[in-house]
Amino acid sequence: MATSTTGLIPNWYPPNRENYELILSVWKWFPLAASLQWLIPWYGMGKTSVTSRLNLPGRIGWLTMEAPGFLTLLYHLHSLPAQQPPPSSHLISAEEEGLPYQNKILASLFVLHYTYRALLFPFLQPSMSPLHILIWLFGILFQVLNGLAIGSWLAAYGPTTQAEWTAQLSASVPTLQFSAGLALFYLGLVANYYHDDELREIRRRAGRRARAAALKDDFKPLDKDDGTPQKEGRGKKGVDKHYEIPQAGLFKVVLYPHYLVEWVEWFGFWMAAGWGCVPARCFLFNEVAAMLPRAVKGRQWYVDKFGEEQVRGRWAVIPGVW
């Protein structure tokens, strides 16, 4: 018997169970679409961003591309549980009310990551390259589908009682598996911020050097119109496109450690959710499929810009593999 849900798009947002299963079956095939990046040299974001009339400002484009994921998850957690039939009485204890703590913790981790990635990250960056509208649209699609899949699982279609969580995790040590997954997630999150900040520090150092140079050079060359010296605006020299080979942390081994440790984050999330959590598994696999081609091509970008000698000894993202 088909179920139904109400919401922004009835039966789809949030989805009923039948449509949830359909969306999830399609979501599993995302790596096929992402693999096209191996064949397409163009990528309109970051270091490979180019001038285009279809570009969006970097900060606003990034924020509006990344935010729909956690907003979708929160919407589903708010709207979907009340539309589900209550669990069988033998599956719940008298103390249980609402979703189990595991669901709430996993949802909090997802929101925590995207609070940084979507809301803080673009404004912590000293500068951000423009974002092509096609990248923006595909990014929004990724975020909405991912937020819908994980949000629906946490809100209704995954374990919603302690008995179901016991069955979901390792039968012998369920608490240990959940805790180990959380530890991996936090390790990846901290390492992600650390390596992101090393990239930001490259721009900050370049900006400090530019401002110091501006203070030493108080006057511009003679004005071409009237031959008088013209004051240089102090501190206004900026650094929009400055690149170096990062040296700190895992950058000594790979050029994209911020990708690698983000995968560690979501591996920990999958572990905590249980190996049978298909949305968490899809998220990890889909992220690797989307980011691996960019890392491998990004290493070639470093070689082209700085030379093989400077890059030698550093893998793209997975030591000993790529």
CA dihedral 313, 239, 49, 70 (to 10 degrees): 90
| Residue 193 belongs to a domain | yes
**What pLDDT score was predicted for residue 233?**
43
Q: What is the domain range of residue 195? A: 17-84+97-311
Cβ partners under 8 Å of residue 223, min gap 6:
229, 230
**DSSP bridge partners of 13:** 9
CA 17 to chain centre: 27
Query: What digits encode the pLDDT tens for the residues 201-249?
Result: 988 887 788 788 778 765 555 444 444 444 444 444 444 567 888 999 9
DSSP letter at 100?
-
**What pLDDT score was predicted for residue 92?**
55
**What pLDDT score was predicted for residue 240?**
54
Of 194, 193, 186, 154, which is closest to residue 274 (Cα–Cα)? Answer: 154
Start-to-end C-alpha separation, the chain: 48
| Residue 259 belongs to a domain | yes
| Residue 321 belongs to a domain | no
| Residue 320 belongs to a domain | no
Of 163, 184, 151, which is closest to residue 77 (Cα–Cα)? Answer: 151
| Residue 301 belongs to a domain | yes
Cβ partners under 8 Å of residue 52, min gap 6:
44, 130, 132
Q: At what angle do helices 133-152 and 58-79 cross, to 10 degrees?
A: 20
> Cβ–Cβ contacts within 10 Å for residue 252, how many?
11
**What pLDDT score was predicted for residue 43?**
78
| Residue 89 belongs to a domain | no
> Cβ–Cβ contacts within 10 Å for residue 133, how many?
15
Cβ partners under 8 Å of residue 17, min gap 6:
3, 156, 157
Mean pLDDT by 10 residues, the chain (322 residues): 86 96 95 88 75 91 97 97 76 66 98 97 91 94 97 97 93 89 98 95 83 70 47 44 86 96 98 97 96 93 91 93 88
Spatial separation of the C-alpha atoms in residues 20 and 173, rounded to whole Å: 30
| Residue 159 belongs to a domain | yes
Phi-psi category of 219—alpha, beta or left, where left has phi over 0 and alpha has psi -120 to 50? Answer: beta
| Residue 264 belongs to a domain | yes
Of 96, 49, 110, 41, which is closest to residue 279 (Cα–Cα)? Answer: 110
Number of domains forming the structure of the chain: 1
